[in-house]
Amino acid sequence: MAFEGLSEKLNGIFKKLRGKGRVSEKDVAAAMREIRMALLEADVNFKVARDFCAATSELCKGQDVLESLTPAQMIVKIVNSQLTELMGGGEAKLEMASRPPTVVMLAGLQGAGKTTNGAKLAGYFGKQGKRPLLVACDVYRPAAIRQLQVVGEQLGVPVFEQGQGKPAEIAKAAVEHAARHGNNMVFIDTAGRLHIDETLMRELRDIQSAVNPTEILLAIDAMTGQDAVTTAAAFNEQLGITGVLLTKLDGDARGGAALSVRAVTGKPIKFVGTGEKLDQLEPFHPDRMASRILGMGDVLTLIEKAEAAQDAKKAAEMEKKLRQGRFTLTDFYDQMAQLKSMGSMQDIMGMMPGVDRRALKNAKFDERSMAKIEAIILSMTPEERENPSVLGSSRKRRIAAGSGARVEDINRLLKQFDMMRQMMKQMSSGKMPKFMKGF
């Protein structure tokens, strides 16, 4: 997970501060030196780290902080606020053209994940009710056009391509095509290089002149650290980018790019790629990211993921069933499927406040056990799922054979299900479940 090292170090620093009844200016200075070292180790730009600590230190040395009853908490609050400001302050939304189509040009070096994440972005806006069009302007990389067509097909987004033509002409023809066919957003996938060169920049400027894009988003690989910031500064100087799409934030990125790019270029991070799946892309919220770095969780993003996974009609049906005290294995299976669609258990737990990231890293979430439960339930007949009381020995043996499980596994599942059903029944009647009494 990104920021893991930085998060651990910052929490260690704050733990020491909390252990002191009073905090002096000397304590603040020592903490700031440690924070600066932690930021540098996380690959944050040296000037950015220095300026951040200087500004934060001044705020922390105020009389209101040092003489408060909880100075350590006040310092954490200030660091949280400063981190949020460093990354942009608030969410920077994609600008929409006053007259459609909105043209988004995607630029970046080869290997940054520009093609896949650009397609994810088109899919994201497709879910928002837009009619996106993907444009294949990377005419050099082998199979680049085919790659865009494959991900476009998986996302249900059409792809415009004219083979190995001139990128600027392809882009212009695509925008005209979009205007004629009602596509109100156009995402142009451009060619990348292993490093910045004048030929690449000239081609990008030609595309820019041909279509006058509403947004120029630079795809940056979060794994490249300081190189990412240098790349962003160079692209911004040549093209005047409007924002950044930060990719591979789910990997072992130290997080320096996310903390530096806004301060160095003045341009906000607008979206982040959080995984390999085509729905793993989300708007960048500086305040939520700051909270996650400081171990405060990210409840709002967790709620949004749950809402996106939840089918409104099914939710209403489930509420009705719970009120009537009916909860079946089919319902149990549906709830598991929705939980899985939110991402891995490790990702979900990582958004919970107060969760120790070190413990989470070593935690073993057996995703296979969920798959086994699914296989057992799917091996049952509709009648058995609706009324598990009919499951005798022979039926259990049949289900075990069909799901690759053991009869003991089926008995364990039924026991868990019965406990959950009893809890649901008690809660729907307004009673507190027995295991919660005394809390």
For the chain, which residues make up each domain, given as ranges? 4-86, 102-293, 303-436
The pLDDT assigned to 197 comes to 82
User: Which homologous superfamily is 303-436 in?
Assistant: Signal recognition particle, SRP54 subunit, M-domain (1.10.260.30)
- Rounded distance, CA 278 to CA 273, Å? 9
Residues with Cβ within 8 Å of 355's Cβ and at least 6 positions away in sequence, in order, are 295, 297, 349
Q: Report the pLDDT value the prediction gives residue 99, as an integer from 0 to 100.
A: 92
What's the angle, vertex CA 144, arms to CA 111 and CA 135, rounded to 5?
105
Question: Are 74 and 68 within 8 A, CB to CB?
Answer: yes
Q: What is the CATH number of domain 4-86?
A: 1.20.120.140
Band (pLDDT 50/70/90 cuts) for residue 397 is very high
Note the pLDDT tens digit of each residue in 303-346: 455 555 555 556 566 556 655 557 788 877 777 776 666 666 55
Mean pLDDT confidence for 105-123: 92
- pLDDT, position 241: 94
- The CATH number fitting domain 102-293, selected from 3.40.50.300, 1.10.3720.10, 3.30.230.10, 3.60.70.12: 3.40.50.300
Contacts 24+ apart (CB under 8 A), 77-83: 79/10, 79/35, 79/294, 80/290, 80/291, 80/294, 80/296, 81/290, 82/52, 82/55, 82/56, 83/259, 83/286, 83/289, 83/290, 83/293, 83/294
The predicted structure's pLDDT at residue 89: 87
| Residue 273 CA: distances (Å) to CA of 242, 250, 280, 398 | 18, 8, 6, 44
